A and B are shown apart, each in its own frame.
Chain A
Amino acid sequence: MATQARTLGASHYPTRIIIYGLLILWAFICLFPIYWTFSTSFKNAVNVTQGHLIPWMDFVPDWKGWRSVGLSPDTIGQTSTAREEFLKRFENSVIASLSASALAVIIGSSAAYGLSRFSYRFGPMRNKDISFFFLAQLILPPVVLAMPFLVLYKELALLDTRIGLILLYTLMVLPIVIWIMRDQFDTIPLELEQAALVDGCSVWSAFLRIVLPIALPGMVAAFILSVILCWNEYFFAALLTSTNAKTLPVMVASQTGSQGINWWSMAALSAAAITPLIVIGIFLERYIVKGLTAGSVK
């Protein structure tokens, strides 16, 4: 047995090397931009333009980028308008993403539950058509909506407000949440709820005590995905916000001044902006996978 396994393993050795080689290459391609962003935040102009890559060998890292946003060790204790600006944008991003995602998950789950459990008729449209109608909203390029939203928000006095942004982002991620959650609810057998009804639950308590806990991993996954999408959104944020409700992506983009691009401060900002996503990616990825691989219920 043992020798057999060993010979088998040995015969697969070359394939393994190739597979691992390809994986390493792919990981390198994926991680390089992140590395470049973080390393650039420690470079000065010369190092950026000359393409120096390896700290302490190619270039001597310094805090220039981080100092410009008031986040370097020597500036962190002092008052800094740049840092205040950054923190404000960061806060906007956090609040807009989290609130919009929470709203979308609540509204979207309710809609998805309805679509999964009851038969609707809306003119000639049945459940399937309604679901597709929701998803079809994603096909529309945002540019088409730019003018209408601008006019609408101006009328409603929602321009440059967090509320406006939250509402818009909710709308933006709702189709995806509905789609994910409908899939989740579809995998939960109807008999489970019926058993709960017989066991003494009302329709609502059956939903809250039985359906919701089972669908929770899916909800978490939908929430995380929504947060990521909202966090990265640029177009509408640039269009509808200015001094008050501006978000991080807009601030990062605005670092391209008239004297050229401030690579170091832009890199520092970008690094700060993607850090939350990296944390999500590393720590919560398994929840996303678990939630999206249906069939958690058998």
Chain B
Amino acid sequence: MASVDLVDVRKAYGEHEVIHGVSIGISDGQFVALVGPSGCGKSTLLRMIAGLEPITSGEVRIDSKVVNDLEPKDRDIAMVFQNYALYPHKNVADNMGFALQMRRVPKRQIAERVKRAAEILDLVPYLNRYPRQLSGGQRQRVAMGRAIVRDPKVFLFDEPLSNLDAKLRVQMRAEIKELHQRLKTTTVYVTHDQVEAMTMADKIVVLHDGVVEQIGSPLELYDRPANLFVAGFIGSPAMNMIQGIIRPGATPTFEAEDGTRLPLSSAPSNSDGRKAIYGFRPEHLTIGGPVRTEITVIEPTGSETQVVARLAGQKIVGVFRERISARPGEVLTVGPNLSSVHLFDAASGQRLQ
């Protein structure tokens, strides 16, 4: 168990910088999810924590100790690689036991711990197989097993569930979370799936093009995204965003590009005529309001109804608890939940309110 701190960490490949000064503090026992689109530098960051990638500048600290120059084997971390990296010449049991073997754990104890991990991961029937005799999902579970047989200071997971089918993924998600609650080992979990991040993590770090966009608890990110990128990345279906201009006054409104007026509870100061983005989440719409939309698609799922509609010439999505009898082509009047409206500056993308 340990804290992990990144202080202004940078990484350049030759001239080309891919991580531009990232600072993240992870306290002891925390489960942190690192999310971001493909190529944003998640794996690179994780590999720098592991010591597999030299750090161009900045500091990585584990347990308040700078580990920049420490070998991976001396950092006491366990890592699950994005492409499994199972040893092809060792069977499942030996793959899982290898780290223990390297740490000179007695044979009997290794066998015991491997068996326990195999039980958790449903791998008992495969212990004598070789990696090439396993399916993708089974390989991924072996990779998980290789990490969890150990009792390291930090777990590093690089998209460990990306190759599992939906059902197994949900099941493994619960397993990992339960495992974390039991072991309380500090965990850094890389994923590009924001649902995974939201459901599992204590804290989410949103990474974009090598820059941290926002750090916060899942609900903080959901309720108060710091900028357009986070707003669009977190939440599914994604937040609706309408471009336009802020019109303060006695009743502040937001004027979309085609003149449609959207309600605001208040306008930020000094914002008259400012170009901005008006954002609201699909579930923060109520039926019957000042805004007219034209329905294009209705998707009832039973528990809720998802409506795709056009508002101010743009496609928006609404999710409603009530059942809607309207048909595509008809007009639906809606109102955004005023306290849940987000305003972002159009130029910088930063949150205004």
Instruction: Give chain A's interface residues, CB within 8 Å of chain B.
Output: 189, 191-192, 194-202, 205, 210, 213-214, 296-298
A222 to chain B, nearest CB (A): 18
A198–B88 CB distance below 8 A:
no
Interface size class of chain B, counting residues whose CB lies under 8 Å from the partner chain:
20 to 34
Identity of the chain B residue whose Cβ is nearest the Cβ of A193 in the assembled complex: B85
Identity of the chain A residue whose Cβ is nearest the Cβ of B72 in the assembled complex: A197
Q: Does B35 contact A (CB under 8 A)?
A: no
CA distance A201 to B101 in the complex (A): 10
Given contacts A198-B78, A199-B98, A200-B102, list 10 more A-B pairs with CB under 8 A: A192-B85, A195-B86, A195-B87, A197-B73, A198-B72, A198-B73, A198-B77, A199-B102, A199-B146, A201-B73
Q: Does B344 contact A (CB under 8 A)?
A: no
Q: Does B89 contact A (CB under 8 A)?
A: yes
CA distance A185 to B83 in the complex (A): 18
CA distance A297 to B103 in the complex (A): 26
Identity of the chain B residue whose Cβ is nearest the Cβ of A298 in the assembled complex: B132
Choose from A191, A198, A202, A205 the contact partner of B83 (Cβ within 8 Å).
Answer: A191
A174 to chain B, nearest CB (A): 27
Instruction: Give chain B's interface residues, CB within 8 Å of chain A.
Output: 47, 50-52, 71-73, 77-79, 81, 83, 85-89, 98-99, 102-103, 132, 146
Choose from A189, A192, A199, A210 the contact partner of B99 (Cβ within 8 Å).
Answer: A199
A192 cross-chain contacts in B, Cβ below 8 A: 85, 87-88
A202 cross-chain contacts in B, Cβ below 8 A: 71, 73
Assuming A189-B83, A191-B81, A191-B83, is B71 touching A197 (CB within 8 A)?
A: yes
A195–B85 CB distance below 8 A:
yes
Q: List 15 interface pairs A-B (beta carbons < 8 Å), by A numbering.
A: A189-B85, A191-B83, A195-B81, A195-B87, A196-B87, A196-B98, A197-B52, A198-B52, A198-B72, A198-B73, A198-B79, A198-B99, A200-B102, A201-B73, A202-B73
A213–B146 CB distance below 8 A:
no
CA distance A298 to B88 in the complex (A): 7
B72–A214 CB distance below 8 A:
no
Q: Which of B78, B89, B146 has the most CB of A within 10 A?
A: B89
B81–A194 CB distance below 8 A:
yes
B85–A191 CB distance below 8 A:
yes
A277 to chain B, nearest CB (A): 30
CA distance A288 to B73 in the complex (A): 36
CA distance A192 to B51 in the complex (A): 15
CA distance A197 to B50 in the complex (A): 9
Identity of the chain B residue whose Cβ is nearest the Cβ of A202 in the assembled complex: B73
A297 cross-chain contacts in B, Cβ below 8 A: 88
Q: Which of A198, A199, A201 has the most CB of B within 10 A?
A: A198
A194–B52 CB distance below 8 A:
yes
B87 to chain A, nearest CB (A): 6
Assuming A191-B81, A191-B83, A192-B85, is B50 touching A198 (CB within 8 A)?
A: yes
CA distance A35 to B12 in the complex (A): 65
Assuming A191-B81, A195-B79, is B87 touching A201 (CB within 8 A)?
A: no
Closest A-B pairs by Cβ, 9 of them:
A200-B102, A191-B85, A199-B99, A195-B85, A197-B72, A200-B73, A198-B79, A194-B52, A213-B89
A196 cross-chain contacts in B, Cβ below 8 A: 87, 98
CA distance A238 to B103 in the complex (A): 55
A194–B71 CB distance below 8 A:
no
A293 to chain B, nearest CB (A): 15
A200–B99 CB distance below 8 A:
yes
A210–B87 CB distance below 8 A:
yes
B86 cross-chain contacts in A, Cβ below 8 A: 195
B132 cross-chain contacts in A, Cβ below 8 A: 298
B81–A201 CB distance below 8 A:
no
CA distance A205 to B101 in the complex (A): 13
B137 to chain A, nearest CB (A): 16
Q: Which of B78, B83, B99, B146 has the most CB of A within 10 A?
A: B99
CA distance A175 to B98 in the complex (A): 35
CA distance A199 to B76 in the complex (A): 9
B88 cross-chain contacts in A, Cβ below 8 A: 192, 214, 296-298
A205 cross-chain contacts in B, Cβ below 8 A: 102
Q: Which of A189, A195, A196, A296 has the most CB of B within 10 A?
A: A195
